[in-house]
Structure 1
Amino acid sequence: MNTFKKSALNAAILGTALFGSAAIAAEKIAVVNVQGVFQSLPQAAMIQENIRAEFKDQIEEAQRLEKDMKYYLEKQQRDAATMSEKERKELEEKLISLRNDFAAKAQPLQNNMQRRGAEERNKLLGKIKDSIDAIAAKDKYDLVLNAEAVLFLKDESKDISKQIIDQVSKSN
């Protein structure tokens, strides 16, 4: 009787394992390299250009201030021996003023550029997500995984990254 219980239990476990494997095999799975898709898109390359164009005047102002600071620092080093105390003090005040102006403009500019860049990247990632959803629905995938989380992929046809790049590239 004891042997019968063990055999029945083993048969039940084996049947459950086989059924579970069959259920997993029946799922349709795809992978997408989201980071690779993002970097391959022409829109991603344009994000940085658009941000620079949007903040062009502020960038030029910060660069001008930086150039002026460099000029006055070089002048201070070059002419220090021949400057009067009054000229030295005026030059130091000028440098302090330029540094303050630069700090007041550069840090907010950098923050604004990073914020806008993140906004644009998130918009593009949203388009990628929408494209993944559309292709997964059209091709009836049960599961789509990020390729960076997949250690092994036997069938490269399950990688739909190229389809995503094509679809997102066309939508602009």
Structure 2
Amino acid sequence: MKNWLYATIVGISLASPVTATVDSKIAIVKISSIFQQLPQRATIAKQLEQEFHSRTIDLQKQERELQSKIQKLQHDSSIMKDNDRNKMEKDIIAQRDAFFQKAQSFEQDNHRRQAEENNKLLTRIQNAVSNVAKDQGYDLVLDANAVAYSGSFHDITAQVLKQVK
């Protein structure tokens, strides 16, 4: 008897349509598109290029010197004394290791600075999204890249871009 009653209740609940109405305003925004269109990106790229210019020049100079020593060793190794060749090989290895360490440090610093500047821009975009959503009365704003289908939702990308510029 219990099983029959339980099965009836489950059957009725599954058969009746669930009607939940949501009176929320939902919008989408294309954050990556806004990010790509910002004129500040070019300014930041130039700023970072200037910031790292001297280190770039130094690394290029060091690389040229290392290449020159390697070519000299390859060219002259057959006529060099063993002692001189070994000394030159050790010098090249030490210089190569120093170069790789310096290059790795440069890459890490450059990547860190780019991430810092990009995060500043993304914060500005996020603030603009919040302002536009509040001004236009949206309850939920989704990134268009995170949504498989957006149907009839309003796209506020243009308004956000205008506010960020």
TM-score (norm. length: structure 2): 0.81
1:98 to 95, 99, 108: 95
3-state SS of 2:27 partner: strand
Question: When you count helix as a share of all residues, which structure comes out higher?
Answer: 1
2:54 is the counterpart of 1:57: yes
2:157 is the counterpart of 1:165: no
TM-score (norm. length: structure 1): 0.78
Long gaps (5+) in structure 1? none
Task: Supply the distance in 2 between the matched residues of 1:150 and 1:106 (Cα, whole angstroms).
Answer: 40
Long gaps (5+) in structure 2? none
Task: Supply the distance in 2 between the matched residues of 1:72 and 1:124 (Cα, whole angstroms).
Answer: 44
Residue equivalent to 1:126: 123
Stretches of 4+ moved more than 4 A in 1?
A: none
Residue equivalent to 1:139: 136
Quote how far apart the aligned CAs of 1:76 are.
1.6
Task: Supply the distance in 1 between the matched residues of 2:55 and 2:35 (Cα, whole angstroms).
Answer: 28
3-state SS of 2:28 partner: strand
3-state SS of 1:30 partner: strand
More displaced stretch, 38-47 vs 124-133 = 38-47
Quote how far apart the aligned CAs of 1:129 are.
0.4
CA RMSD between the two structures: 2.5
Identity percentage over the alignment? 33
2:165 is the counterpart of 1:154: no
Quote how far apart the aligned CAs of 1:147 are.
0.4
Quote how far apart the aligned CAs of 1:90 are.
3.5
Quote how far apart the aligned CAs of 1:43 are.
1.8
More displaced stretch, 79-88 vs 136-145 = 79-88
Task: Supply the distance in 1 between the matched residues of 2:161 and 2:84 (Cα, whole angstroms).
Answer: 61
Residue equivalent to 2:85: 88
